[in-house]
Structure 1
């Protein structure tokens, strides 16, 4: 009987793998037929990737039903979303309320914007706490997240490194329009003509809620400085008590390098696209003096003097 169950499990895993690769092939084939202009579509003023989302999905997202105990991560693209979402999964798996029974597999869509009614319905069967995320601005969250007071971890990154990381991501991702040059991408980044709109509009939408008890902001840079401290801070925000051993283990296996090394298994062919360098200060390799000054002025007009702006330590990470 045990042998039969094992074979059934293997067959199920193989089926899941085959289904996944079939999905990837379909996405790549569809993307290959689109012009650069067709690879993004506009919905409520923001751009989204055509092959991964749709206007119908974004409409259906408003009906998504969150739970109070869900663990949600939100960030602008390329601010450490995949990294922190994996940390959340590891924290949830290590939590005491799962230690007595088998640890459930952390399944589910990574981004709510890539789901749809069918996926949202399937998620209803997943055990709590569910871990999922979004790149959306605060005002575009599913209403149930706010109504249920579901806790949201917001990950921010200094805008100069974010712009460079986003540029390389678009340059190497076959599902997104390939920028002709860094200069062209920089102009689009500064005007919000990229997926999920303006970095600064996204940041300001969350700045308004930085003191909400159900919102916690953490930065990419502070996680790079002290990952173990960040893990403990995140766990405490979600009301999870971890032993020092668990914290150190999650921090050890959750380094950018460790996740990059394992990215082929976790993110298939997109692993090396998602996990590129994971460093602070890479902006100096691309920014011209004029671009640096333009970003400085934009930060000054949008975020200087705000609590979120202070947490980003702009003078430390974004000045020569």
Structure 2
């Protein structure tokens, strides 16, 4: 089971109650760790589709991909950079926005990443959901995920998972679960926070980029851009 683009709740681990290994760069040591993990296993990563080992797709590994709208992703990413001790600090939002739009941030272009996954959105072993869908109705998304992975859950189990995997619940326990990196990972978890930093010109620039890259695509429709990314 492969979980890509972790701008999401970490409920997948809790849902499946399995061993989770985060993979960003596949080196021999990490590969060995994969082999040593008992099955079933969940691997989480920000890797582009083309960088994921082809054997995972050949073996029809279940792949859950979670996207967030590009404006909120940008603002979240800006704070992640400035709250993460191992990443460079940006002196201003404007400088970060320019790099973000040009794909000059860690893990590259949001739009390149989205376009790559859009090509595979209809594959039976790929499930793409959005952060906004989870915020609006988490139980529905939990049921969708459990069905995708072939896991039968009772209503009580769904409720338990929901209570333990809300953003607030995870943030409250983040120091315990994520240590010194907690503040970088768990900030607000809101939808629409992009309006706190975007200028009108920046908003229009992003609108044009979305129109150029994702308008008319299935993933673009799923992101519901007009609802979440317009003033």
Q: Which TM-score band applies after superposition, normalised by the shorter structure?
A: over 0.9
Equivalent-residue separation in structure 1 for 2:190 and 2:180 (angstroms): 21
Within a 5 Å distance, the mapping from 1:64-213 to structure 2 comes to 71-75=1-5, 79-80=7-8, 83=9, 86-93=10-17, 106-110=18-22, 112-114=23-25, 116-213=27-124
Equivalent-residue separation in structure 1 for 2:161 and 2:20 (angstroms): 21
TM-score (norm 2): 0.97
Equivalent-residue separation in structure 2 for 1:115 and 1:147 (angstroms): 18
Runs of 4+ in 1 over 3 A off after TM superposition: none
| Higher RCO structure, 1 or 2 (CA under 8 Å, sep 6+) | 2
Equivalent-residue separation in structure 1 for 2:97 and 2:30 (angstroms): 35
Give the Å deviation of 1:109.
Answer: 2.8
* Match for residue 233 of structure 1 among 138, 141, 144: 144
Unaligned runs of 5+ in 1: 1-70, 94-105
Give the Å deviation of 1:163.
Answer: 0.2
Query: 1:272-303 CA distances to partner (integer Å, 9 max, x unpaired)?
Result: 21010000000000000000000000000000
Alpha-carbon spacing, 1:224–1:108, altered in 2? closer, same or farther (3 Å): closer
Which has more radius of gyration?
1
Query: 1:75-115 CA distances to partner (integer Å, 9 max, x unpaired)?
Result: 1x6x32xx2xx31111212xxxxxxxxxxxx44432x1255
Unaligned runs of 5+ in 2: none
Give the Å deviation of 1:182.
Answer: 0.2
Give the Å deviation of 1:156.
Answer: 0.6
* Match for residue 134 of structure 2 among 198, 214, 223: 223
